[in-house]
Amino acid sequence: MLLVTDIRENKERIIEGLKKRNIEDLSVLDKILEADDNRKKTQFELDNILAESNQLSKQIGELFKTGKAAEANELKEQTSSLKEKSKKLQEDLNNYKDELEAYLFQIPNALHESVVAGKGEEDNVLVSTHGEVEEKEGLPHWELASKYDIIDFELGTKITGAGFPVYKGKGARLQRALINYFLDKNTAAGYKEILPPLMVNEASARGTGQLPDKEAQMYEIPLDGFYMIPTSEVPVTNIYRDVLMEEKDLPVMMTAFSPCFRREAGSYGKDVRGLNRLHQFDKVEIVRIEKPENSYAALEAMKNQVATILEDLGLTYRILHLCGGDTGFASASTFDFEVWSPAQHRWLEVSSVSNFETFQANRLKLRYKGEKGTEYCHTLNGSSLALPRVLASILEHYQVEDGIEIPEVLHAYTGFTKIS
């Protein structure tokens, strides 16, 4: 969530960043400042009363020691009155804190100055395209998966439901090869590998912004108060929830593989064919925790990391800078990577690389001690990469008359060079 101090000190910048999201009514910002004023005023009054009460308690103790019980009892009546006042002030303080948090949870992150305004994906800015955009007459990946018996969508529907495919034989081995290759590329670039839990509690989901914004997309386990993770970003970033770091320990660079679980309510049509949109899928993530002044250089480094992997796989891809209307709730700036699907004649998103600035760190209470004192960190993450659509693009791009060739960079991981 936004920092109240930032709203106070940089209100015009915040307003400009929020208007790019097509938010017209920003009266909530004034409500935030009013609630914070009430909170601070009440905290000041409460602190004064508690200090006065503590001072009286010391005096009462001294009076009893010196045999002045009558005077001590008179002061005790004053302390009783102060306790009642402090109780009421504490209740008011809690209410103002709750009110302030409720307002802050309503508003998304203010967008970075580099993000353009726009209504939706049609207004996203094309940064670059790499490779040739070819429209082949070959089979789409779901038909290739059936032909060579490497992914069984019907079996997954039988076992669980639509959107839960079963990978088989060389399909399973290719999936595992991609996971290991992505992790090896990321660790070679300096990212520390993490194997996180697949379920998180409510505090973790709130810390990275999944709650209260994305409840409809998450699978919940009500009996235990857990949520299945929609991405490993959630548990990995929460490693540093409620942590005060030393400046020398920054940056933190982590990578993690996990299955991801998303309800994807409302999906239909061509967007859900085959591997295009799943409820369970595998993904390798990269996460960084940075000093504020370094975070946009880190964002560029993460973009380069994803680009290098796609180039090694020989896939055609493009990079888009998302406009205000298409940028996620918690992000200040996001770049999407899309690979070309030759048989479907369309682009498929495989990665989002985002800088959240202090938005997550404020929720997480993730700070560091530097020369200027205690400051909030910036958090970033990116898919490096989401597997289903990468795999779909590989199957379609590398299909030949008698099978599917495997990208050379994966040969050492698969143990085979062709599916036939």
| 275 contacts 392 by C-beta, under 8 angstroms | yes
| 377 contacts 291 by C-beta, under 8 angstroms | yes
pTM (2 d.p.): 0.93
Would the annotation count 285 as a binding residue? yes
Closest CA to 354 of 329, 377, 391: 329
Would the annotation count 202 as a binding residue? no
In the chain, pLDDT over 70 holds for what percent of residues?
98
Would the annotation count 352 as a binding residue? yes
98, pLDDT greater than 90: yes
- The secondary element (H helix, E strand) that includes residue 176 is helix 170-188
Confidence (pLDDT) at 267: 52
Q: Starting at the edge strand that comes first in sequence, how are the strands of the sheet with 403-405 ordered?
A: 399-400, 403-405, 418-419
Encode pLDDT of 138-158 as tens digits. 999 999 999 999 999 999 999
Confidence (pLDDT) at 11: 97
Strands (E) in 322-366, as ranges, are 333-341, 346-357
Confidence (pLDDT) at 403: 98
The band of 265, judged by pLDDT with boundaries at 50, 70 and 90, is low
Burial of 225 (0-12, 13-18, 19+ CB in 10 A): exposed
Mean pLDDT, residues 361-371: 95
Confidence (pLDDT) at 62: 77
If one compares 212 and 352, the residue with the highest pLDDT of the two is 352
What single string gives the DSSP state of each residue in 243-289?
-EEEGGG--EEEEEEEEEE---TT--GGGGSTTSS-SEEEEEEEEEE
Would the annotation count 45 as a binding residue? no
Listed by start position, the domains of the chain span 24-106, 121-419
Encode pLDDT of 399-413 as tens digits. 999 999 999 999 999
Would the annotation count 71 as a binding residue? no
270, pLDDT greater than 70: no
Mean pLDDT, residues 24-43: 97
Residues 181-219 as b/e (b if ≥16 CB within 10 A, e otherwise) read: bbbebbeebebeebebeebbeeebbbbbbbbebbeeebe
71, pLDDT greater than 80: no
Encode pLDDT of 168-190 as tens digits. 999 999 999 999 999 999 999 99
In the chain, pLDDT over 90 holds for what percent of residues?
86
271, pLDDT greater than 70: no
CA distance linking residue 62 with residue 77, whole number of Å: 16
266, pLDDT greater than 70: no
Range name among 37-46, 50-59, 200-209 with the lowest pLDDT average: 50-59
Confidence (pLDDT) at 14: 97
Mean pLDDT, residues 306-335: 98
CA distance linking residue 377 with residue 357, whole number of Å: 7
Confidence (pLDDT) at 136: 76
Please give, one letter per residue, the 3-state secondary structure of 152-168.
EHHHHHHHCCCCCCEEC
Residues facing residue 119 across a β-bridge? none
The band of 70, judged by pLDDT with boundaries at 50, 70 and 90, is confident
73, pLDDT greater than 80: no
Would the annotation count 272 as a binding residue? no
| 373 contacts 360 by C-beta, under 8 angstroms | no
Confidence (pLDDT) at 214: 74
Encode pLDDT of 198-257 as tens digits. 999 999 999 999 998 777 889 999 999 999 999 999 999 999 999 999 999 999 999 999
Confidence (pLDDT) at 269: 54
93, pLDDT greater than 60: yes
Would the annotation count 13 as a binding residue? no
DSSP SS3 for 3: coil
Would the annotation count 263 as a binding residue? yes
The band of 393, judged by pLDDT with boundaries at 50, 70 and 90, is very high
Top CATH class of 121-419 equals alpha beta
Mean model confidence pLDDT for the chain: 94
The band of 268, judged by pLDDT with boundaries at 50, 70 and 90, is low
Question: In one letter, which amino acid is 61?
Answer: G
